[in-house]
């Protein structure tokens, strides 16, 4: 029987490419996202694949997803669903930020907890939480809520990682923390990052390889890895000022989009 992997936010971008990477490795795929047509189109390209349409910004939908697949021996969970918004904190609509928190934080928290319990009981499996280099920084002026959500994901993942080590568990958990990736995220965030982005294919390959290697923090770009370590040593206010300047350079395009 093929190993089974669940990938959320699989309708585009990094999630879509992670699904392809896992398919190459012989996994049976369960793909979850809001856009059924895109999931079906991707499933047609893969081998043994099941599609579940759901809105993970809703707690009941997170629980429904778990209930639908809990008996299918999922050994890999990829929490990829998420989005960001660019703008001044007081100007971004509150409902957009709350939906972002529900998707980027609550969904990751709920699914990680529910599936982790099963994986620990079986003493095997992997969880890959797709975070961001934003989650390694002290904050992100003009993307305040997004940076905060990704900091939550990296902090949560890091704590669970250490708990699993303390328990001598064979279950592994990782956080994928890329910089700009050439996906729909830029349009959704209403931003042009102004720097060379890596491809989602490359990001996915690094993420899957790092997950199976048991790495805690996976940063696909070597230069970004060095920069993130340097940022941890620099004064917080200086890093915030530099980050704010970089965010200010981003160009606004589309006001209403979501993954």
Q: How far apart are CA 218 and CA 227, in angstroms?
A: 14
The conformational region for residue 75 under phi > 0 = left, psi -120 to 50 = alpha, else beta, is alpha
Q: What is the DSSP letter of 252?
A: P
Q: Which single residue is written with the structure tokens 């040593």?
A: 233
Q: Which single residue is written with the structure tokens 């797709």?
A: 130
Burial (CB count within 10 angstroms: exposed 0-12, middle 13-18, buried 19+), residue 227: middle
At residue 218, φ and ψ (nearest 5 deg) are: -110, 115
**Which one is catalytic: 126, 146, 147, 152?**
146
146 is catalytic: yes
Tell me the catalytic residues: 146
């Amino acid at each position: 029987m093929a190993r089974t992997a669940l990938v959320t936010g699989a309708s585009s971008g990094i999630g879509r490419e992670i699904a392809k990477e896992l398919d190459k490795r012989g996994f049976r795929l369960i793909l979850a996202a809001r856009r059924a047509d895109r999931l079906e189109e991707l499933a047609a390209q893969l081998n043994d694949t099941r599609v579940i349409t759901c809105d993970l910004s809703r707690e009941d939908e997170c629980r429904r997803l778990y209930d639908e697949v809990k008996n299918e021996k999922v050994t890999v969970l990829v929490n990829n669903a998420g989005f960001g918004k660019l703008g001044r904190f007081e100007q971004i609509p509150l409902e957009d930020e709350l939906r972002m928190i529900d998707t980027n934080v609550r969904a990751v928290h709920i699914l990680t907890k529910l599936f982790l319990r099963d994986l620990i009981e079986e003493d095997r499996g992997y969880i890959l939480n797709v975070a961001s280099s934003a989650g390694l920084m002290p904050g992100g002026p003009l993307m305040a809520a997004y940076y905060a959500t990704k900091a939550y994901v990296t902090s949560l993942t890091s704590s669970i990682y250490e708990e699993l080590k303390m328990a001598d568990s064979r279950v592994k958990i990782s956080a994928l923390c890329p910089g700009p990736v050439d996906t729909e995220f830029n349009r959704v965030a209403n931003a042009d990052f102004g720097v060379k982005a890596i491809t989602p294919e490359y990001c996915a390959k690094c993420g899957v390889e790092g997950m199976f290697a048991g790495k805690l923090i996976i940063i696909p770009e070597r230069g970004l890895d060095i920069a993130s370590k340097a940022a941890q040593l620099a004064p917080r206010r200086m890093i915030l000022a530099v980050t704010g300047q970089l965010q200010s350079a981003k160009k606004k395009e589309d006001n209403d989009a979501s993954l």
